[in-house]
Amino acid sequence: MSHDSIIRPSQVVSVLSAFILVCVQPVLPAQAQTLKVSDNNRYLIKEDNTPFFWLGDTAWELFHRLDREEATLYLENRAAKGFTIIQAVVLAELNGLAIPNPYGDLPLDDKDPTRPNEAYFEHVDFIVEKAEELGLRIGMLPTWGDKFNRKWGEGPEIFTPSNARDFGAFLGRRYKDDPIIWIMGGDRNPETEQHHNIIHAMAEGIRQGDEGRHLMTYHPQGGSSSSQWFHEAEWLDFNMFQSGHGKVDNKNFRMMSSNYQESPVKPALDGEPCYEDHPVSWDPENGWFHAFDVRQAAYWSMLAGALGHTYGNHNIWQMWEPGREPVSSARTPWYEAMDYPGAFQMKYLRTLFTSRSFTKLIPDQELIEKDSLLGSAPARAARARDNSFAIIYIPHGQSLDITLSIFDNHIVQAWWYNPRMGNSIRLKPFKAQKTHHFDPPADPIRGNDWVLVIDKGEAEYPPNR
């Protein structure tokens, strides 16, 4: 079986039982703890000051296309895989104002944002509540961007600053007590003063309605970041960028690094990287993004300072199934695509980072003294602020020379963590002296990615939990 072949649920038990470095923690109900930004403005934490790891999935058409039984199946699958955030849109992209949900309900009467249809929102309520029962939060987009800046898509443009504020206030009041994170935008950038006014008004309406109880960000179109327009907006709690689907080996850590350097400091993440099973640059002749591509985007971004990461599957965001017109060559029913390998491997990502105090991490490329693939497939490195551990991601399994001066001649414990399978290889402890050469297992080829974890001896991170 190849590294990127599909892993079925029956296989997961054996994979998880092989954990050596850490074991997966069960998903527990979120109990609707409010989230806030950490004191250093780099991460998200809960009310009790424990870290919150954002592991998102893009389910843009969830409210629009799935009935309650299907939505429950999807949410249970995502909770079991360790996801914490489900990104979904109220006024959906795929003709969401004119094509009803599975129960025959449209979201608005006469496409008027001041006249929401109660029956439609009762279905949204069900999904929000089911997500909470399963320990998930909804990253809720009030609307897809074509409803205020059509540019492409169905539209129509229905928002003005006035009705955007009213619609935002309605949503804020309705979900004031639910575990929600608000996501403005919807794959559109503001291009006119009117667009800016609509976005600000909707955000202010939500703040009025939910009394400021929830965090808020903005989802831009590909190659863009919310920081370009809204970084200093009072309502924007953290930045979201979209590295997108345009090319293979898109070095999304550059976008993350740019956000990391913004002032004032705000957390940031890649809210839409390349989707698993998406045609490269929207053309199947260019090939398809596979599990390695989504892993690479995730680790690159995390080690550049991201607060968390969002995964996506091209078939799932649109909830494609036979009988529906596929968008951009979707080819696998959503209920089968839920078990693509990349989704399982995102749980391994979360497991690794939450096994240590990941909110201590700061990017530090100076740890890498020599990387033979620096130009094409560079390794990325980060270390704990107190120098108690370091994590280095190696995309093509290339050997590296790592500077260990941060460990100050202490004994260190190193591990090779396999991001494909979630297991690890423990190396013999050694004294950290200047530079050490590390050679990952197997041949240095694309897709043979490894994570090097180095723990300072007295930190005493356990190999098992």
The mean pLDDT value of the chain amounts to 92
Domain boundary among 354, 382, 408: 354
CA distance 54 to 294: 16
Q: Are residues 417 and 349 in the same domain?
A: no
> Which structural domain, as residue segments, surrounds residue 421?
361-459
The 10s digit of each residue's pLDDT in 114-154 is 999 999 999 999 999 999 999 999 999 999 999 999 999 99
Q: Which residue has the higher pLDDT, 459 or 300?
A: 300
Specify whether 188 is located in the same domain as 91. yes
Closest CA to 137 of 148, 126, 128: 128
Instruction: Give the domain CATH number at 51.
Output: 3.20.20.80
Domain end call among 354, 388, 416: 354
Please state the length of the chain: 465
What is the distance between the terminal CA atoms of the chain, rounded to a whole angstrom?
Answer: 29
Neighbour-count burial for 215-240, b at 16+ CB within 10 Å, e otherwise: bbbbbbbbebbbbbbbbebebbbbbb
| 160: nearest Cα among 122, 126, 202, 120 | 202
The residue out of 354, 388, 422 marking a domain boundary is: 354
Tell me how many domains the chain contains. 2
322 shares a domain with 394 = no
CATH number, domain containing residue 395: 2.60.40
Q: Would the CA dihedral through 217, 222, 225, 228 be positive or negative? A: negative
pLDDT tens digits, 319-373:
999 999 999 999 999 999 999 999 999 999 999 999 999 999 999 999 999 999 9
Reading across the β-sheet that carries 308-311, which strands appear in turn? 216-219, 180-185, 137-143, 85-91, 54-58, 308-311
If asked whether residues 234 and 307 sit together in one domain, one would say yes
Judgement on whether residues 92 and 53 belong to the same structural domain of the protein: yes
How wide is the angle at C-alpha 80 spanned by C-alphas 184 and 220, nearest 5°? 15
Do 303 and 426 belong to one domain? no
Residue 225 φ/ψ, nearest 5 degrees: -135, 150
Q: In what order do the strands lie in the sheet containing 400-403? A: 368-371, 400-403, 435-438
Mark whether 97 and 200 lie in a shared domain. yes
Is the domain of 332 the same as that of 390?
no
User: Are 338 and 382 found together in one domain?
Assistant: no
CA–CA dist 349, 298 (Å, integer) = 8
* Residues 388 and 288 grouped into a single domain: no
50 has pLDDT over 90: yes
Q: In terms of domains, do 49 and 140 share one?
A: yes
Evaluate whether residue 464 is within a structural domain.
Answer: no
Q: Are residues 282 and 192 in the same domain?
A: yes
